[in-house]
A and B are shown apart, each in its own frame.
Chain A
Amino acid sequence: MSNKISHQGVSRRHFLSSLGFGTAGMVLLGSYGFVIRRDHSTGTVRAIAVNFDECAGCRTCEAVCSAYNHMESVNGRMVNGIGNPALSNIRVYHYNPDIDIPSTCALCNDAPCVEACPVDPDPETGYRALYRDPELLTITNDRERCIGCGSCADACRELRAGIIRSNPEIGNPEHMCTLCGGDPQCVKYCPFDALSYVVMDDDRNLDGLSPRKLAAKMIEKLYNIRVTETQL
């Protein structure tokens, strides 16, 4: 699959065409005006799951995420970029006592980031400036309509893992997981099998996703050392 997810216009067309062809998925209308496609064969949301027991903190995931999602043109061909970890959507945080916490977009079922978007839904698509891509259910930004207010980033930071960060220049949200068009590179290249691309439970717990909270839990589990979030 091509890297179409990062190109909002392409995915919107794809969404419309998938409706037209009446794909196997059941289409649900979300309560906030965005659309989630529920596919019987795959469940509701597939996303990146982290096995915190296996991560060795090498940050290969960051390099491959960045390389795939920020391709470069070489002689007219788009090829993987250099892999600058600052551009990666997945991020590994390290702490002392020693633990590494990969942190990436959970594609939350209730998507507080989308809910926080103050831009009126597009009458045609029902999308706000932040919406769920109908194909992969990834959280996608419509750059043309985004006002760069940062509400989505605030919601993510306050309620979830703080994945979304605003572009320092134009303010639009960045670092939502694209699932690399269905072939997540972080999962493919994780040398320690700490990442997997799996169906998420509808009722999964989306609290306590902040890296510090997870680190405190893991430190107690591994070393039997109790630390509070603020001590990390």
Chain B
Amino acid sequence: MSTKGYYGRMLEVDLTAMSSKVTMIPDEDIKKFIGGRGLGTKILFDRLKPGTDPLSPENILMFMSGPFSGLPIPSSSRTCVVTKSPRTSPLSPQFKSGSTVSYSNMGGFFGPELRFAGYDALLITGKAEKPVYIRIHNDRVTIEDAGEYWGMGTDSFDKTFHREVGEGRWESCYIGPAGENLVPMACIINTAARAAGRGGTGCVMGSKNLKAVVVKGNKMPNIARLENYNDLLEKVRQSFMKKDEGVMSWRYGGTTDALASSSRAGTQAVKNYSEGTFGEIEKIGTEANRKEIWKRDFACYACQLACKKSGYAKGAYNVQVHDSPEYETGTMLGANLLISDLNGLHRLIELADDLGIDIISVGNTTGFLMEAYERGDIDREFLDGIDLTWGNVEATIELMHKISKREGIGEPASKGVKELAGIIGKGSDQYAIHVKGHELAAWNIPVNSDSWAVCYATSNRGACHMNGGNARRQDSACLRDSLGACSFASSWYRGELQYQNFLKAITGLEWSDEEFNRAGERIFNLEKMFNYREGFRREDDFIPEKFFVNKFTFGEHAGAIVDRAKFQENMDSYYEGRGWHKDTSRPTDETLGRLGLSFTI
């Protein structure tokens, strides 16, 4: 008998042996690591030998639901993909393949459906001889030939597969050509748009010759205190259904609203992070999209915010828009490349999704190459003849195709800016905007640098904008990602409606606020210990040199720059607050003991 609210069941598929089995999750791990990101990291830590090649059959690709997944708790349907990253590396490698944990979160319906099929988690190891997909219908698990789908873009796959799979409502996630071709920055897509975008999840999936996972089920786990749960659910629904400004603003603009507001605040990645404000942001912002493109708002399972926007973009390119531009995609392929052609931007986003490439990393990498080209650190020959100038949509399209095939310039570019800077030299590492090999996202550092610099430098998957700028926020993010809750809706879960009260009703277990928060801290520390074991040290918790030497020249925040001494000071106090050694960044034995992580020592 497992903890209530869970099945305690994991489906493990071995693609080398072409077999599957169900294993049980220890109750103790559920209480300590909750699910999703936390439980995934625990499994990764327990099972992977240090230095395991992330693209080897030994690496585990995990689709983790959380205890909220599949329950109609508003905005709590997220699925966390956990694996060992093919993107990251330490400055001083101890292993040939030392890399961080990778966790990447996607919305939609996949995690809930995995739970309806009777599993809390899906673990995939091994490597199939030929392209396959995994089909899960409750207890019936089969590994099917995916030869006819191999090479398909994610949009075509989504359309074709769901027509052919037959009656009923299957949920799926899949890779595009980039993942098949082992592009390190490949992602996993569902519903032709939603992505487990970051950390090379699609590359790991491709390395297993796995095109897709499809799932359908009709079960639900039991809840311990149903009346209590129903009461909380009713209250949180009513609080969303007031349709206050917060709810209506998510529906109207989604994260796209942040394009304009972040630009005004000087916190946007513009021109490869040289600026924080983009003068032409209105051309790709909410109003322009409402007027020209968007036709409909879409929600994830049981979500009331509906931040995903679909439409149709006409112009030089005719584009069926599945989700764009949201803040990250609009910034990374728009502002960061000085692209303000709305139709062109939609084409780029659609193409990246269709190829299955992480838009944050590909936008960042393209910006880096544009800067290198402008500076003369590389020439047109280096770029296979592509005239990669700022704002150039056609050139960006061409580069993206090459990246997806790892052809010519696409081969080093597919590995991101750290790799490229190593090849180019000439001090280009100063403007290669990554941490631990993972590219920064769309939030620029210098304005609000106290928070953003710490956020990026200390993220356990390499640079990540969702990490949080201090320990408390980071621990909260760990908890949300482990429950399956969406960060966009977190402000509705306060007071009586805070997450731990739902968790208590679902599991029947007691959680003091302190215990609950400690679980978040425990998860973050376990990730840190995974990375430490892989050879990451304090020197790896950096921010790129550009932020200390480049001053913004444009907008209200002209002159903004990061103070080097202040950054180191903030990092020192961060480590102290965490109970980590300042010289190595390793959590102290005392900290690990306090968190029940002595097994990592």
Contacts and interface: CB of A to CB of B under 8 A. Distances in A.
Interface of A: 53, 56-60, 63-64, 67, 72, 74, 77, 79-87, 91, 93-100, 189, 191-192, 222-225, 230-232
Given A57-B298, A231-B163, A232-B163, 11 more contacts: A56-B296, A59-B302, A67-B72, A79-B230, A80-B226, A82-B223, A93-B169, A100-B298, A191-B240, A191-B299, A191-B304
B159 interface: yes
A158 to B, nearest CB: 14
B295 A222 contact: yes
Nearest to B75: A58
A91 B218 CA distance: 13
B192 to A, nearest CB: 5
Contacts of B299: 56-58, 191-192
B312 to A, nearest CB: 4
Interface in B217-232: 217-220, 222-223, 226-227, 230
Contacts of A64: 72
Interface string B188-231: 00011100000000000000000000000111101100110010
Contact of B298 (A56, A79, A82): A56
Interface residues of B, number: 42
Contacts of B222: 82
Interface in B233-248: 237, 240-241
Interface in B319-351: 320, 322
Given A74-B226, A223-B320, A56 B306 contact: yes
A99 B308 CA distance: 12
Contacts of A77: 227
Contacts of B241: 189, 191
Contacts of A53: 296
Contacts of A192: 299, 306
Contact of A79 (B158, B226, B240): B226
A58 B305 CA distance: 9
B220 A94 contact: no
A58 B296 contact: no
A58 B163 contact: no
B191 A96 contact: yes
A224 B312 contact: yes
A58 B251 CA distance: 13
A57 B310 CA distance: 12
A156 B306 CA distance: 32
A94 B312 CA distance: 18
A50 to B, nearest CB: 14
A60 B302 contact: yes
Given A82-B226, A85-B116, A223 B302 contact: no
Interface of B: 71-72, 74, 109, 116, 155, 158-159, 162-163, 169, 191-193, 217-220, 222-223, 226-227, 230, 237, 240-241, 295-304, 306, 310-312, 320, 322
18 contacts: A53-B296, A58-B300, A59-B302, A60-B302, A79-B226, A79-B227, A83-B72, A84-B116, A84-B220, A85-B116, A86-B218, A95-B162, A96-B191, A97-B310, A98-B322, A189-B237, A191-B304, A225-B320
Contacts of A56: 296-299, 306
A50 B298 CA distance: 16
A52 to B, nearest CB: 10
Contacts of B226: 72, 74, 79-82
B289 to A, nearest CB: 15
Contacts of A97: 310, 320
B296 A98 contact: yes
A154 to B, nearest CB: 14
A-B residue pairs, 4 tightest by C-beta:
A86-B218, A63-B72, A58-B299, A98-B310
A185 B74 CA distance: 16
A79 B192 CA distance: 38
B190 to A, nearest CB: 11
A24 to B, nearest CB: 34
Contacts of A189: 237, 241
Given A96-B192, A98-B296, A82 B71 contact: yes
A96 B301 contact: no
Nearest to A98: B310
A86 B217 contact: yes
B312 A96 contact: no
A232 B169 CA distance: 13
A93 B312 CA distance: 21
Among B193, B303, B322, the one with the most A-chain Cβ atoms within 10 Å of its Cβ is B303
Nearest to A79: B227
A223 B306 CA distance: 19
B302 A58 contact: yes
Contact of A98 (B74, B169, B298): B298
A211 to B, nearest CB: 10
A149 to B, nearest CB: 20
Nearest to B162: A96
A178 B320 CA distance: 38
A104 to B, nearest CB: 15
Contact of A96 (B155, B223, B302): B155
Contacts of A225: 312, 320
Contacts of B116: 84-86
A216 B301 CA distance: 23
Nearest to B300: A58
Given A59-B302, A60-B302, A86-B218, A96 B296 contact: no
B124 to A, nearest CB: 25
Contacts of A83: 71-72, 220
A26 B301 CA distance: 43
Contacts of B297: 56
A87 B116 CA distance: 11
A47 to B, nearest CB: 23
Contacts of B320: 97, 223, 225
A70 to B, nearest CB: 10
A94 B110 CA distance: 13
Contacts of A57: 298-299
Among A57, A80, A83, A87, the one with the most B-chain Cβ atoms within 10 Å of its Cβ is A57
Contacts of B193: 98
A83 B74 CA distance: 13
A96 B190 CA distance: 11
Among A74, A84, A91, A99, the one with the most B-chain Cβ atoms within 10 Å of its Cβ is A84
A80 B233 CA distance: 11
Contacts of A87: 218
Contacts of B158: 96
Nearest to B303: A58
A194 B181 CA distance: 43
Given A93-B169, A222-B295, A223-B320, A63 B191 contact: no
A58 B220 contact: no
Contacts of B217: 86
Contacts of B295: 222-223
Contacts of A79: 226-227, 230
Contacts of B218: 84, 86-87
Contacts of A91: 169
A28 B223 CA distance: 46
